[in-house]
Amino acid sequence: MKEGKSASFPATGRTTGARYHTPGSQVLGTVFKANERVITIDDLLLTDAFVANIDEAMNHFEVRGEITKQMGEELAQAYDENVARVGVLAARASAVVDGLPGGSALTNAAYLTDSDVLAAAFFQAAAIFDEKFVPASERFGYVKPVQYYALAQNTKVINKDWDGKGSYSDGKVVKIADIPLVKTANLPNGKSFATGPTAYQGVFTNTAALIMHKAAVGTVKLLDLAMETEYMVSRQGTLMVAKYAVGHGILRPECAIELKTA
């Protein structure tokens, strides 16, 4: 978006008036249920570093390039973590439109330790999505690295005789129940957040994994990732600042499923 502090997104339901017509009866039209979701831009998120002239001169490598890379990665990780939190909160949210389902949760104490149980949850999640008419394409499962590699060692998941998708030698799992897997360290497993933007706060101590369709969460961007530098004579060095201004929010709760241990 070019300007403003928020953006609205339509949330539409499904038509429910299909019926056989009686000749001569009047067709009046049924009410189409809809709603609106508003996502607000967060405050400017930035990270900064100061590079002293003397330190830069004494280093045997190019300092600023590495600092720039690390700053960009830090902001990217923050972006992913906020989206993951919103995804879990979407799974806990009620319906946005009357008549549509809300988010869902599957509970099993072994999701973090038993790859068979975790794999079975993907099939349960796929069935839940199908029953909610969530599109089969663009569903994704987000798991911690330790869970991902446990699945990569599971013969049920990668067995070619069962049309398994993955590789034991490469440590890769492509999909389960036609849901592609994403390995991420940015899930809020075992954490609680009571500070920062309200949209990202919550208790995630029992969260084990997240399965969602891309329609579950929306993102609004006001200022793209940018880098600024300023030489400061008074400090004999350069101030480096990386920043962006975005906002994330829940769009369709029925498109998210939280896997939790309790």
The answer to whether 202 and 193 have CB atoms below 8 angstroms apart is yes
pLDDT of residue 165: 55
Is the pLDDT score of 114 beyond 50? yes
Higher pLDDT, 159 or 142: 142
Higher pLDDT, 31 or 204: 204
Domain that residue 183 falls in: 6-12+36-260
Nearest to 80 by CA among 169, 183, 158, 186: 186
Is the pLDDT score of 170 beyond 80? no
Amino acid (one-letter) located at 34: A
Report, as an integer, the average pLDDT of 29-49. Answer: 93
* pLDDT band at residue 168 using 50, 70 and 90 as cut-offs: low
171 domain-assigned: yes
20 domain-assigned: no
**CATH code of residue 214:** 3.90.1690
Residues β-bridged to residue 207: 260
In percent, the amount of the chain with pLDDT more than 90 equals 77
Is the pLDDT score of 163 beyond 70? no
19 domain-assigned: no
**Angstrom distance (rounded) from CA 259 to CA 112:** 10
Report, as an integer, the average pLDDT of 195-223. Answer: 97
* pLDDT band at residue 154 using 50, 70 and 90 as cut-offs: confident
Domain count for the chain, please give it. Answer: 1
pLDDT of residue 162: 43
1 domain-assigned: no
If residue 225 lies in a helix (H) or strand (E), which one and from where to where?
A: strand 217-232
Q: DSSP letter string over 9-20?
A: EEEE-------P
Nearest to 248 by CA among 35, 89, 70, 71: 89
pLDDT of residue 171: 63
Is the pLDDT score of 21 beyond 80? yes
82 domain-assigned: yes
18 domain-assigned: no
> Structure pTM?
0.88
Read off the pLDDT of residues 65-101 as tens digits, 9 standing for 90 and up.
Answer: 999 999 999 999 999 999 999 999 999 999 999 889 9
CA separation, residue 12 to residues 15, 56, 199 (Å): 9, 56, 22
Is the pLDDT score of 41 beyond 50? yes
Report, as an integer, the average pLDDT of 30-47. Answer: 93
pLDDT of residue 161: 42
Report DSSP state, residue 251: S
Lowest mean pLDDT among 149-153, 161-165, 196-200: 161-165
Measured in whole angstroms, how far is the alpha carbon of residue 197 from the centre of its chain?
16
25 domain-assigned: no
21 domain-assigned: no
Q: Is 141 in a helix, a strand, or coil?
A: strand
